[in-house]
A = this chain, B = another copy of it.
Amino acid sequence: MAVLDRDIYFLALFTCHESGFQKVNNSAEETQGSVLLASVHFLSGCSSKKAKSHLYSFLPILKWLPRYPVKEYLLGDIISGISTGVMQLPQGLAYALLAAVPPVFGLYSSFYPVFLYTFFGTSKHISIGTFAVISMMVGGVAVRQVPDEIISVGYNSTNATDSFEYYHARDTKRVQVAVTLAFLSGIIQLCLGFLRFGFVAIYLTEPLVRGFTTAAAVHVFTSQLKYLLGIKTNRYSGPLSVVYSIAAVLSKITTTNIAALIVGLTCIVLLFIGKEINLRFKKKLPVPIPMEIIVVIIGTGVSAGMNLSESYRVDVVGNIPQGLRAPAVPEIQLIPAIFVDAIAIAIVGFSMAVSMAKIFALKHGYTIDGNQELIALGICNSVGSFFQSFPITCSMSRSLVQESTGGKTQIAGALSSIMVLLVIVAIGYLFEPLPQTVLAAIVMVNLKGMFKQFGDVAHFWRTSKIELAIWMVAFVASLFLGLDYGLLTAVAFAMITVIYRTQRPQYRTLGQIPGTDIYCDVEEYEEVKEYPGIKIFQANASLYFANSESYTSALKKKTGVDPCAILAARRKAQKRHAREIKAANELRKKTNDMEASVKHEIANDELPVNGKFASADASVQDVSPDEHEQFVEPKTNIHSLILDFTPVNFVDSVGAKTLKSIIKEYKEVGVCVCIASCSGPVMTELTRLNFFDNTVTRELLFHSIHDAVLACQVKDRSASQTDFNL
């Protein structure tokens, strides 16, 4: 049934990030439902149109139900509702195993929230209900809060009654945890929805979600192994739970229940065949073969007929109480312990639902409201929790069936929930002999699509190493740290990659394509040429605290001019020079004295003097004022440096100071620094950061690189003319 899961994932996640959560601007032209509006009108006090629009946005059913074209839509909705309903049933039972609660709670979760969504949801095609990843997350928390061991200490017995009591007590507590999780994550979703915080889902970028769901699939698979093999082991949660689970199963592999394994493997084969048929004969079949319910029915029949439970000790679903339970308040005191998990579940659930909803909305040409979806899911979860349902979201496989079998509106979902209700109140007990191995088989086969995501590694390897890193981190962290901490780690890592990209920019020097005003990387293109004496430097990132140091050093390296080194060399030279002048002066003094005395002696004969003191004179002559100038002047072969600010989107105070000190340092060694293509917002920021002063003026800014180049050339020419004139 989850035939296209993989592609859908791809599409889903892609679309999620693509279309934005634009609010549906409900045109307030409609005139229906005005009776109901009267009260809202009275309460809110805002204009009738606005109130109407708000009410429609909060209760979308008011908008679409009165205009429901019964003749056109009803048949499709009924067929789709039944097809989806027969999937809700086995999936509800199976995913309850994942959530570590008795199967009947899976049925509750497949009824209440699904029914509620009809009223509040804006998507016409997604199938709300139990979902593997969310159920697994719930199971992880339930097992962490109520481990197998702790309670068993109180019930260290082998007899059946005690054992039953033990399991009953454990399951009751786990149900409380799962239900409270649903309540809390629902409340979180509601709050996010009312605060219009739907955008939080953007942090779950595609590689992250794909890595995360792949890890979840591994978690789900390992947790189902024991049911498939009919082995009794504890269930683990928290870091390294996957490893512990596998180790536990392997250590007890000899106790495998052959009957359970045979039944399970048969089911897996049947389900794969069903999937294959549905895929191959997609166009010929009016509705896909509901292989899951068929397997469940056959499994139940065989189990009941052969009495698998007693004869072969195959674990069966067991007690399914008939009828609904009275509403109960979730255990509020559990909240602090599960708060972080609830946030993770709320966000993952929302992100799954909205991505799927986007696909169908795009396909069928309507819009969904991301924030209203959050509110709808929040109501489904929080209200549902009062009726013992655990956290739910949209299931990909079911949604696909609901849409492909002709579902037109939320009516289909409502019908599927009513089917589940009928089972709960009427024939639920019939499923009591159903072997757990059959449910494990259903869960495992549904993982096929997610396991295919391992192919992502090759895909991301080709396209982007950074996204591969996000995938790997999400996968590895979720696999080994558990789904909750894994998700947090992955989100943190995805953010760090953004920092990394801005922090390690590519530095380039640009040159002109001759005859144009186009400037390109000199290393990349052969034909570009650099103007003598002018260097154009570009970094493809904004300039701020984390990269301003590397900007400076790259600038010095790329341009080959380091003002510090030049100044140090100059200082050294000056010192040596000063020493030499001093020495020379002393010498000159001495020489003069001697000369004077010599002159006195041989006043009329000049030749020997010149010959005698030639060497001393030479050193003295070295120290002419002209020579002094030449000595100190730095030996830079460039006169202008142009910083291309095209890629700079923001500047902070550290960046501004860096820039200022670059300009001043280079000025000291006679290199003029210009800034080209500085955008308006960056200009504003620089001004506010007191960047401009007497030495750093706005005259250093140029609209484009070419303008800056021309200005530098003019300045250099006039400077050299001045030199010449001097």
Interface residues of A (CB under 8 A from B): 14, 17-22, 199, 202-203, 205-207, 362, 365-367, 460, 462-464, 466-467, 494-496, 498-499, 501-502, 505-506, 518, 520-521, 524, 540-542, 544-550, 552-553, 556, 564, 567-568, 571, 646-647, 649-650, 652-654, 657-658, 661, 677, 679-681, 685, 688-690, 703-704
Given known contacts A367-B564, A546-B498, A649 and B541 CB-to-CB distance under 8 angstroms:
yes
* Residues in B neighbouring A654, C-beta threshold 8 A: 14, 17-18, 205-206
For A20, list chain B residues within 8 Å (CB).
Answer: 549-550, 552-553
Question: Which of B18, B206, B661 makes the CB contact (< 8 A) with A549?
Answer: B18
Q: Answer whether A653 and B564 are a contact pair too, CB < 8 Å, given A20-B553, A365-B571, A549-B18.
A: no
Structural contact, A366 and B568, CB atoms closer than 8 A: yes
17 A–B pairs (Cβ distance < 8 Å), ordered by A:
A17-B548, A17-B654, A18-B657, A20-B550, A20-B553, A202-B548, A205-B654, A206-B653, A463-B688, A464-B652, A466-B652, A495-B496, A495-B499, A501-B649, A540-B650, A646-B679, A649-B649
Q: Are B498 and A502 in contact (CB under 8 A)?
A: yes
Checking B205, B564, B649, B703 against A540 with a beta-carbon cut-off of 8 angstroms, the contacting residue is B649
Report the separation of the CA atoms of residues A653 and B468 in the bound assembly, to the nearest whole angstrom. 11
Chain B residues whose C-beta falls within 8 Å of the C-beta of A199 in the assembled complex: 549-550
Chain B residue contacts of A21, Cβ below 8 A: 549, 553
Which of B495, B552, B646, B653 is the one whose CB lies under 8 Å from A646?
A: B646
Complexed CA–CA distance, A17 and B650 (Å):
17
CB <8 Å contact, A464 and B18 = no
Judge whether A495 and B494 touch: CB under 8 Å.
no
For A679, the chain B residues whose CB sits under 8 A away are 540, 646-647
Q: Which residues of B contact A547 (CB under 8 A)?
A: 202
CB-nearest residue of chain B relative to A10?
Answer: B657
Quick one: closest B residue to A557, CB to CB?
B22
Complex: A205 Cα to B506 Cα, angstroms? 22
Per the bound structure, the CA–CA distance linking A450 and B423 in Å amounts to: 72
In the complex, chain B residues whose CB is within 8 Å of the CB of A680: 520-521, 524
Closest to A648 in B: B647
Q: Would A365 and B498 be within 8 Å (CB), given that A206-B545, A546-B203, A688-B463 are in contact?
A: no
Complex Cα distance, B540 from A677, in Å, reads 13
A520 to B677, CA, bound (A): 11
Which residues of the other chain, B, contact A685 by a CB distance below 8 angstroms? 464
Q: A211 to B726: give the CA distance in the assembly, Å.
A: 54
Contact status A549-B688, CB under 8 Å: no
The interface residues of chain B lying within 8 Å CB-to-CB of A556 are 22
Q: A206-B545, A496-B495, A501-B649 are in contact. Are A463 and B552 (CB under 8 A)?
A: no
A301 CB to closest chain B CB (Å) equals 47
A207 touches B650 (CB 8 A): no
- Which among B14, B501, B521 is the interface contact of A657 at CB below 8 angstroms? B14
Among A17, A496, A680, residue most surrounded by chain B Cβ atoms (within 10 Å):
A17
A549 to B199, CA, bound (A): 9
CA distance A22 to B542 in the complex (A): 21
Q: How far is the CA of A18 from the CA of B556 in the complex (A)?
A: 13
Write out the residue numbers on chain B whose beta carbons fall within 8 Å of the beta carbon of A496: 495
How far, in Å, is A679 (CB) from chain B's closest CB?
A: 6
Q: Which 5 A-B pairs have the closest CB atoms?
A: A205-B545, A20-B553, A20-B549, A540-B649, A17-B654
B658 with A17: CB separation less than 8 A: yes
Complex contacts, A362 vs chain B, CB 8 Å = 564
Q: Which residue of B lies closest to A198 (CB)?
A: B549
Q: B463 and A653: CB pair below 8 A?
A: yes
Q: With both chains docked as a complex, state the minimum distance between the C-beta of A684 and any C-beta of chain B, in angstroms.
A: 10
Instruction: Determine whether the beta carbon of A467 is less than 8 Å from that of B17.
Output: no
Closest to A704 in B: B518
Q: A464 contacts which chain B residues (CB < 8 A)? A: 652-653, 685, 688-689
Contact between A18 and B502, CB atoms less than 8 A apart = no
Contact of A647 among B17, B518, B553, B647 (CB under 8 A): B647
CB <8 Å contact, A18 and B552: yes
Residues of B within 8 A of A544 (CB): 498
In the assembled complex, the Cα of A22 lies from the Cα of B367 at a distance in Å of 55
Complex interface: chain B residues within 8 A of A688 (CB): 462-464
**CB-nearest residue of chain B to A496:** B495
For A361, the closest partner residue in chain B by CB is B564
Residues of B within 8 A of A571 (CB): 365
Q: Nearest chain-B residue to A199 (Cβ)?
A: B549
Which of A466, A571, A654, A681 has the most chain B CB atoms closer than 10 A to its own CB? A654
Q: Is the CB of A205 within 8 A of B463?
A: no
Q: In the bound complex, do residue A19 and residue B552 qualify as a contact, i.e. CB atoms below 8 Å apart?
A: yes
Check B518–A703 contact: CB distance below 8 A: yes
- Whether the pair B681, A540 counts as a contact (CB closer than 8 A) is yes
Cα–Cα, bound, A247→B462 (Å):
61
Chain B minimum-CB-distance residue to A13: B654
Residues of B within 8 A of A681 (CB): 506, 540
Question: When chains A and B are docked, how far (Å) is the Cα of A546 from the Cα of B491?
Answer: 11
A652 touches B689 (CB 8 A): no
**Assembly CA distance A441 to B60 (angstroms):** 70
**Residues of B with C-beta under 8 A to A689:** 463-464
Kindly state the separation between the CA atoms of A542 and B542 in the bound complex, as whole angstroms: 10
| A202-B568 CB under 8 A given contacts A518-B703, A647-B647 | no
The CA-CA distance from A679 to B507 in the complex, in Å, is: 13
Contact residues in B for A203 (Cβ distance below 8 Å): 545-546
- Can you name 13 extra interface pairs (CB under 8 A) apart from A464-B653, A505-B649, A506-B681? A14-B657, A17-B658, A18-B657, A19-B564, A199-B549, A202-B549, A206-B653, A366-B568, A367-B568, A501-B650, A502-B649, A646-B647, A647-B679
A518 to chain B, nearest CB (A): 6
Contact of A17 with B540 in the complex, beta carbons under 8 Å: no
